[in-house]
Structure 1
Amino acid sequence: MLLNAGYPLTLVIDNRTLKSQKDYIENISAQLNQYNQASASIDMLDAESPAIGRQMAGALHKGRSILIFLDGNTGVGGIYQRNNRQLRVSFLNKTIVSRSGIATLAHATRTPIIPIISYYKTVDGVEIPYYDCLPAIAPKAIPAEVFVRETTQQLYDLLADYVRRYVDQWESWFYFHKFLDFDALTATSSDEEPVVDAPVTAFRFNEERYSLFKIDQTGYLFDRQTYQAFPLTDDAFDWLHQLEQSSDSTSVEGDSASDGTFIDHWWSQGVLQSAE
């Protein structure tokens, strides 16, 4: 939209996207300029560069508009970087770890943030793109820490509202689990009631919390609560898989020394439940 209107634009994207799509983005920009008989320029900045803050401030000083993807949520150190400058915010009933650069830049440069949400509606089998330009969020005369925290939460609340309405259109489902607050998830898990001794007879696979999957030839146990995956030996995977397949209809009783070893271990981890 900004390029179509002839405004100079600075796009902030992660390092991998910058390397793989830089030429494509520049080509699209050139086509738009040719179509509109304009000369709007587009610059691209690496969101993971140590100098990104200074570079964005410089772009604003030159009168350029900056486009940042909130759900990209990356910055210096990459997507997995964690430090005390990041925020923990609520998003879709979970706590995530978020970068704070958007709100920090707005407060430092006294520049308003204009949230824009893109989605589409299908009309007669044709997908029509929409771009909702929401009310600007102007910097306030409050401490930077307060503004950054409140504004970042406000931005995620706006995004969550649209994600709930257009669940299938949000491509970030494929990687957004990387931003979950694993420390909080693990703490919640460890705060549960202690596990009692394993039952003598009937038990079943705890499919409400755990699931099994394989990548290549390696089996894994996935914890839905902490979003962690644990590699399994072939024997352990086969034993749990057999139990998982039978858990819908019946319980299984250990009838060998090997089963007893598995039962004691997986019961203590909460992977097994009583079927009595």
Structure 2
Amino acid sequence: MPSAQHLYKQELARCREHFERVNLRKERGYLMKFTTFSANVENIMPFIPRSSHERLFQELLLQQVFTTFDQQCLTAGDLVKFRGAKEAITKPDGPRIYCTYHLGSYRLLTSVLFRRGVDCVLLVGSNMNRHQGDDMLEHIEALRQKHGLTNVFRIVDTGQASAGLTILRELKAGRSLIVYVDGSPETAPQPGEEDKLLSVRFGQRNVLTRKGVGYLSHTSGVPIVPVVSYRQPDLTNVLHCLDPIRPIRQSDREMYCREAMQQLYDAFWSYLTRYPGQWEGWNYIQSFLEPELPKHAMYGRRPEHPAFNEDRYTLCDLEQAPILFDRRLYQTYEITEDLRDLLLNLNTIDSVEGVVGEEMFEELVEMEILH
């Protein structure tokens, strides 16, 4: 009789087979989603060649299919391999703040903790709560029925005004938190929230991250346990528990928040470099990037042989109109078909300025579209 592991991998093979039948490039919005993904990878991991970006993007889309399947499969959590400080996810002697990331089959941590008898509270944004909250509760209830579990599971919507007090009460009641510290589209920084954010190093850029996790840990005295999920090449899911970050109650709260969040991103970085095609955050990390100071162009400098600046800009031929995408600033410009054709065929034109006029030429140079 086939083992549970064999049957599980058989189902994933079916998922892959179905996925590979789809012509992704014909899917609505594919080109812009891929271009944004590519710009994000390039800004944070410039050592990955652009020629590899589409393969990574399609790997991520397949991983999302696998992750959705895992959420529907009650036995997926039983097949997980554990690495590192495994005792951190057995029933602890007190509450923990489990900090994880949107890497691999990231929802499995919740299933595993609940299955092991941990009283836990999942923190989610309002949009995720609306679209996925019921599915998560159904999954947990099915695990409860199957294994006769009696421990507590709750979802807290972090978009609610009373969320902070609710979370502190849950910690004081001995329940552990599950937090995705790499953010989500709905937790992106908003104007006026500067006091809730801090800047951390992340690859070649700095990102803005919310300091609520550090604040909760420091205020409650509850340690942070980083947990990284990833999928091995043989499709086995792994949960790697890293050493806890323990708060020092008498320490400066702001300093602790800053150091704890930097540790969490540093810990994640070593796994992201190994499994870049498994991180869902590539689809939205641009909303968290700390703006860079503009690089001032040398005004008045006219390129003798103007070329299209492919390092900074990408041409996207959409149905409605051609789009010029700025990979540094994440801005899109609708352009005419004539300008698109000109940019694609610069090497056949004797005088670009003669074709577009002096004013347009200077604008193209100033925006670094031509260099």
Alignment of 1:263-274 (within 5 A): 263-273=361-371
- Which residue identity lines up with residue 240 of structure 2 in the other structure? D
Q: 2:144 aligns with which of 30, 33, 43?
A: 33
1:70 aligns with 2:181: yes
In 2, the alpha carbon distance for the partners of 1:223 and 1:16 equals 28
Of the structure 1 ranges 141-150 and 43-52, higher mean CA displacement relative to structure 2 is found in 43-52
TM-score, length basis structure 1: 0.85
Residue 193 of structure 1, CA deviation: 4.5
* Equivalent position SS for 2:207: strand
1:244 aligns with 2:343: yes
- Which residue identity lines up with residue 298 of structure 2 in the other structure? P
Q: Partner residue of 2:275?
A: 166
Residue 214 of structure 1, CA deviation: 4.8
Q: Partner residue of 1:196?
A: 300
Q: Partner residue of 2:215?
A: 104
Residue 263 of structure 1, CA deviation: 1.2
Confirm or deny: 8 A CA contact 2:308 2:343 kept in the other structure: yes
Of the structure 1 ranges 107-116 and 212-221, higher mean CA displacement relative to structure 2 is found in 212-221
- Which residue identity lines up with residue 264 of structure 1 in the other structure? E
1:262 aligns with 2:360: yes
Q: What do residues 220-248 of structure 1 show as CA deviations (whole Å, max 9, x unaligned)?
A: 3322222x3142342xx531x2233235x
Q: Partner residue of 2:253?
A: 144
Confirm or deny: 8 A CA contact 1:220 1:229 kept in the other structure: no
In 1, the alpha carbon distance for the partners of 2:156 and 2:319 equals 37
Q: What do residues 176-218 of structure 1 show as CA deviations (whole Å, max 9, x unaligned)?
A: 1111112xx2x2x2x434322434x531111121222255514
TM-score, length basis structure 2: 0.64
Confirm or deny: 8 A CA contact 1:12 1:68 kept in the other structure: yes
In 1, the alpha carbon distance for the partners of 2:151 and 2:369 equals 58
Residue 254 of structure 1, CA deviation: 2.6
Residue 90 of structure 1, CA deviation: 0.8
Of the structure 1 ranges 43-52 and 101-110, higher mean CA displacement relative to structure 2 is found in 43-52
Confirm or deny: 8 A CA contact 1:14 1:46 kept in the other structure: yes
Confirm or deny: 8 A CA contact 2:114 2:151 kept in the other structure: yes
Confirm or deny: 8 A CA contact 2:185 2:287 kept in the other structure: no
Of the structure 1 ranges 6-15 and 257-266, higher mean CA displacement relative to structure 2 is found in 257-266
1:211 aligns with 2:314: yes
Confirm or deny: 8 A CA contact 1:8 1:65 kept in the other structure: yes
Q: 1:253 aligns with which of 331, 337, 351?
A: 351
In 1, the alpha carbon distance for the partners of 2:296 and 2:359 equals 24
Which aligned runs of 4 or more in structure 1 are off by greater than 4 angstroms? 249-252
Residue 71 of structure 1, CA deviation: 1.3
Confirm or deny: 8 A CA contact 1:29 1:41 kept in the other structure: no
Structure 1 residues 115, 88: CA separation in 2 closer, same or farther (over 3 Å shift)? same
Confirm or deny: 8 A CA contact 1:205 1:243 kept in the other structure: no
Q: Which has the higher helix share?
A: 2
- Which residue identity lines up with residue 172 of structure 1 in the other structure? G
Q: What do residues 120-143 of structure 1 show as CA deviations (whole Å, max 9, x unaligned)?
A: 1132xxx11110111110002320
Confirm or deny: 8 A CA contact 1:204 1:243 kept in the other structure: no
Seq. identity, %: 26
Confirm or deny: 8 A CA contact 2:185 2:284 kept in the other structure: no
Confirm or deny: 8 A CA contact 2:184 2:284 kept in the other structure: no
Residue 104 of structure 1, CA deviation: 0.7
Structure 1 residues 195, 27: CA separation in 2 closer, same or farther (over 3 Å shift)? same
Task: Mark the runs of 5 or more structure 1 residues left unpaired by the alignment.
Answer: none
Q: Partner residue of 2:24?
A: none
Q: What do residues 84-143 of structure 1 show as CA deviations (whole Å, max 9, x unaligned)?
A: 2210111121111110011110001110000111111132xxx11110111110002320
Confirm or deny: 8 A CA contact 1:96 1:180 kept in the other structure: yes
Q: What do residues 70-95 of structure 1 show as CA deviations (whole Å, max 9, x unaligned)?
A: 112578xx424142221011112111
Structure 1 residues 44, 215: CA separation in 2 closer, same or farther (over 3 Å shift)? farther
Structure 1 residues 257, 98: CA separation in 2 closer, same or farther (over 3 Å shift)? same
Q: What do residues 48-74 of structure 1 show as CA deviations (whole Å, max 9, x unaligned)?
A: 222221111011011111100011257
Q: Partner residue of 1:8?
A: 119
Confirm or deny: 8 A CA contact 2:123 2:178 kept in the other structure: yes
* Equivalent position SS for 1:116: strand
Residue 6 of structure 1, CA deviation: 1.2
In 1, the alpha carbon distance for the partners of 2:321 and 2:221 equals 52
In 1, the alpha carbon distance for the partners of 2:242 and 2:224 equals 10
Q: Partner residue of 1:225?
A: 328
The higher radius of gyration belongs to 1
Confirm or deny: 8 A CA contact 2:200 2:207 kept in the other structure: yes
